[in-house]
Amino acid sequence: MTSWQELLIDLAVIAIFVGGIAQFRTPIGARRGNLTAALAFAIALALLVYRNTIGDTAVVVVAFLLGGGVGYVVSARVDMTRIPALVAFQNGAGGGAACLVSFVELTREGAELAAVNQVFGYVGLVVGGATLAGSIVAGGKLAGWFRQRPTALPAHNLLLFVLLAGGAALAVLAGPAGESAATLPVAGVAAASLALGALFAVRVGGADMPVLISFLNTFSGLAAAFVGVALGNQMLIAAGAMVGSSGFILTMVMARAMNRRVGSILVGSQLAEGAPVAPAESEPAADPSPAQAAENAPAPVFDDPAVRARRALAGATSVIIVPGYGMAVAQAQGEVATLASKLEAGGKLVRFAVHPVAGRMPGHMHVLLAEAEVEYDKLFEMDDINDDFATTDVAIIVGACDVVNPAAITVEGTPISGMPILRAHEAGAVIVCNLDEKPGYSGVPNPLYDDPDTILMLGDAKETVPQLWGRNGG
């Protein structure tokens, strides 16, 4: 087979991969896109085996079956609350693979790498190792294994610089271009990259985690692309570059949705603690007379929250539902989809407002609602629906806090100050189906809970949401 024929085949495989990614615009299309991209990877793997001599085929087959089996079992057992942590670990696996391939190629006996290939090999080693360790830290935070708030060490930036400079020095000591590198210095570079990634990720936390996840996705793609350059593999370069660029675009979208700079997130500037929400000051009123007090006293309210909520929904013509991570924890997406269907059957306009950083990873709520078979055209991004809250009769919040917290636009000095929010507080009435009144992931108290127009349906959303249409609630 000539080099031109091989190039044309490679371009065809790359085109299939691009076609898979192009289908990721909707949840339904994403399912086909995943299968299309998987087909491209399978063809690429087959070509790799065909074009190269494998010393021990049995080892490759066993490793393939073992890795595939573990991946299938883990993915089948993970529920939607753990998907963000799984995504983080998958990013880490990609980085770890790039790190291992770079290590083997750099230290392989008899290797004759050109200077540019060797440089990219080291870059792939460092980026891959950093992605692996950073993803382990991120996944551990999301899974609750590590402290979830940001952690900054004394002279944190200096430590990062020392690790990076130390890795570069070890790479120089490993040997000149064109020869196999010494194993021990290369191992030192790998160790430094692992420490670099862990130290980098540990100071990101709280509401910034979705940005970190998409940023690590960028790194995993870049690591693969760098290794592709080191190996001279066009398909690996193309696939890695596409993953890296798409991850970078997503990172910028996430940061813009939070009205923050990516750099400020990654250097840990979000370490400020949440400031208390102070009530508005007003002049003290004179004490009323007993007669005035009796006349002006509000009528006693005996309705429980479920009754008030159903009454508000009964008189509504338009409803906006805001899902959040609590919906994933409660596994209440099915109940939310049923509620939407029942409201629509009653002639009401029902839409879903999805904040870009709702959940613990980009697109988390879209995946959940797609699983519950909510039609994609009913899901609206923040910029497309925010102005409609003011003319909406009822906003229903299910497991969301930070993304609807008015403190983000009224209180300075908190981790979410300046972050654009879904303006659910502007709706005629607000129904909150959250577990409790505690602050969200950022730790900032939510004044929406104290609003007189807010109806608190506290408890497990899987139990409280059905009460909105009367099930288990009278």
Q: What is the CATH number of the domain that holds 386?
A: 3.40.50.1220
For residue 67 the two structure tokens come to 């890795």
Phi-psi category of residue 398: left, alpha or beta, with phi > 0 → left and psi -120 to 50 → alpha:
beta
Residues 220 and 327 occupy one common structural domain: no
Query: Any idea of the CA torsion for 65, 70, 73, 78, to the nearest 10 degrees?
Result: -150
Residues 338 and 417 occupy one common structural domain: yes
Residue at a domain's end among 218, 241, 266: 266
Residues 361 and 444 occupy one common structural domain: yes
Cα separation, 253 vs 350, in Å, equals 26
Asked whether residue 319 is assigned to any structural domain, the reply reads yes
Q: Which of 402, 450, 453, 460 is catalytic?
A: 402
Asked whether residue 176 is assigned to any structural domain, the reply reads yes
User: Residue 399: which residues within 8 A CB-CB, separation 6 or more?
Assistant: 323, 324, 325, 326, 327, 328, 329, 330, 332, 433, 434, 435, 461
For residue 64 the two structure tokens come to 């393939």
For the chain, the domain total comes to 2
Residues 231 and 88 occupy one common structural domain: yes
Average pLDDT over residues 326-348: 91
Q: Is residue 299 over pLDDT 50? A: no
Q: Is residue 459 over pLDDT 70? A: yes
Which of 368, 370, 336, 365 shows the shortest CA–CA distance to 353?
365
CA 246 to chain centre: 14
Identify the pLDDT of residue 279.
Answer: 40
- Helix axis angle for 156-173 and 115-143, nearest 10°, is 140
Residues 223 and 369 occupy one common structural domain: no
Q: Is residue 389 over pLDDT 90? A: yes
Contact (CB, 8 A) for 323 and 369: yes
- pLDDT per residue over 96-124, tens digit each? 999 999 998 888 876 677 888 888 999 99
Q: How confident is the model at residue 430 (pLDDT cuts 50, 70, 90)?
A: very high
> Does 402 qualify as catalytic in the annotation?
yes
Which contiguous run of DSSP H or E holds residue 470?
none
Structural domain boundaries enclosing 218 = 78-266
Cα separation, 212 vs 357, in Å, equals 11
Sheet holding 454-456, edge to edge: 379-381, 349-354, 318-323, 394-398, 429-433, 454-456
Asked whether residue 46 is assigned to any structural domain, the reply reads no
Contact (CB, 8 A) for 393 and 428: yes
- pLDDT per residue over 170-215, tens digit each? 888 887 766 667 889 999 999 999 999 999 888 887 667 778 888 8
Which contiguous run of DSSP H or E holds residue 353?
strand 349-354
Identify the pLDDT of residue 281.
Answer: 39
Asked whether residue 189 is assigned to any structural domain, the reply reads yes
Residues 120 and 177 occupy one common structural domain: yes
Q: Cα dist. 371→31, 73, 401 in Å?
A: 11, 19, 22
Q: Is residue 56 over pLDDT 90? A: no
Give residue 329's identity as a one-letter amino acid code.
V
How far apart are the two ends of the chain, measured CA to CA in Å? 74
Residues 105 and 239 occupy one common structural domain: yes
Cα separation, 176 vs 462, in Å, equals 63
Cα separation, 154 vs 147, in Å, equals 17
Residue at a domain's end among 266, 293, 319: 266
Share of the chain above pLDDT 70, in %: 86
DSSP 113: -
Identify the pLDDT of residue 352.
Answer: 95
